Amino acid sequence: MLTTQFVPGSPCWIELDSPNIDVTERFYGGLFGWEFQEQVPEYAFCQIGGRTVAGIGALMGEAVTSAWIPYFQVRECEATTRAIELAGGAVLMPPVDLEPQGEMAQFDDPAGARFAIWRPAGIPGVELVNEPGSLAWIELHVPDTTAIRGFYESVFGWRFEDVPMGDTTYALISPAGCAPGADPSVGGVTPLGLGDRPHWLAYFAVSDCDATVAGCRELGGTVHAPAEDVKGVGRMALLVDPHDARFAVVSGSP
């Protein structure tokens, strides 16, 4: 499960690139009860009870679409960037030093799914997970779930465990170096839906999935997949914000 005890290769941050931060803050503030703390112009921390759960920044470039982007912790940005390029990834933003907070870079994996890396200094990552309004899971959607494993294994040292799920196989992601006795899985890999582009999907925990779906509609978002019960997981729905950034919500465990 996700934790704030980060190790190299684990998800440590989630960030939304938005073409209109004011509109985005109204939507997510209404949906999750987030408060926003501006850090620099056009970048804000999203918080619950004073604890940071995500970041929102300005969308850069007309060709880039609004999306939730996961960040993975690394020891060195430069070395990891070289490893990503050697493994077939594409550099979207080379390493940027944001001292005293840390250093980041952004990429596309070989399938075209966007992600970022974070070398922490003053800010290790988000301060709350698995609670209503915070990140609960991340999921990679790609055409070939087997081929992509070699990339993430070589870059982050991830381990994958196949879990049968209906007519397909779902792969659980575990970073190396998880605490003994802890549930090591932090995300999954699943086949890409028809007509979709490769992407990482962020799941946010909520206390009431159906109420969140209704709130999404009221706040100007849309419902891509209505709420349904998933055995052993909870009640889930797939939503889209006013700028077409897709995300999921999950509550409980049926």
On the question of pLDDT at 254 being above 50, the answer is no
In three-state form (DSSP H/G/I as H, E/B as E, the rest C), the secondary structure along 153-183 is HHHHCCEEEEEEECCEEEEEEECCCCCCCCC
- Using pLDDT thresholds of 50, 70 and 90, give the confidence band for residue 61: low
Architecture field, domain 135-251: Roll (3.10)
Among candidate residues 77, 56, 76, 78, the one with its CA nearest the CA of residue 67? 56
CA 184 to chain centre: 17
Distance CA 90, CA 107 (A): 5
The token duo for 176 is 């190396």
Distance of CA 51 to the CA centre of its chain: 17
Confidence (pLDDT) at 182: 62
Domains 11-120 and 135-251 share a fold: yes
Question: Who's near 46: CB < 8 A, 6+ residues apart?
Answer: 28, 32, 34, 35, 36, 52, 53, 54, 55, 56
1 pLDDT above the threshold of 50: yes
Three-state DSSP at 213 gives helix
Say if residues 139 and 191 touch (Cβ distance below 8 Å).
no
Residue 55 has pLDDT above 70, yes or no: yes
Q: What's the whole-number mean pLDDT along residues 42-63?
A: 90
Segment 226-231 mean pLDDT: 92
Chain centre distance of CA 180 = 24
Tell me the pLDDT of the chain averaged across its residues. 94
pLDDT digit string, tens, across residues 118-152: 999 999 999 999 999 999 999 999 999 999 999 99
- At 251, is the pLDDT very low, low, confident or very high (cuts 50, 70, 90)? very high
What is the fold of 11-120? 2,3-Dihydroxybiphenyl 1,2-Dioxygenase; domain 1 (3.10.180)
Residue 52 Cα distances to 38, 77, 230, angstroms: 12, 23, 28
pTM score of the predicted model: 0.95
* pLDDT tens, position by position, 80-124: 999 999 999 999 999 999 989 999 999 999 999 999 999 999 999
Rg (CA), the chain: 17
Please state the domain extents for the chain. Answer: 11-120, 135-251
Mean pLDDT of 147-174: 92
d(C-alpha 251, C-alpha 235), whole Å: 5
Query: Sorting pLDDT into bands at 50, 70 and 90, what band is 180?
Result: low
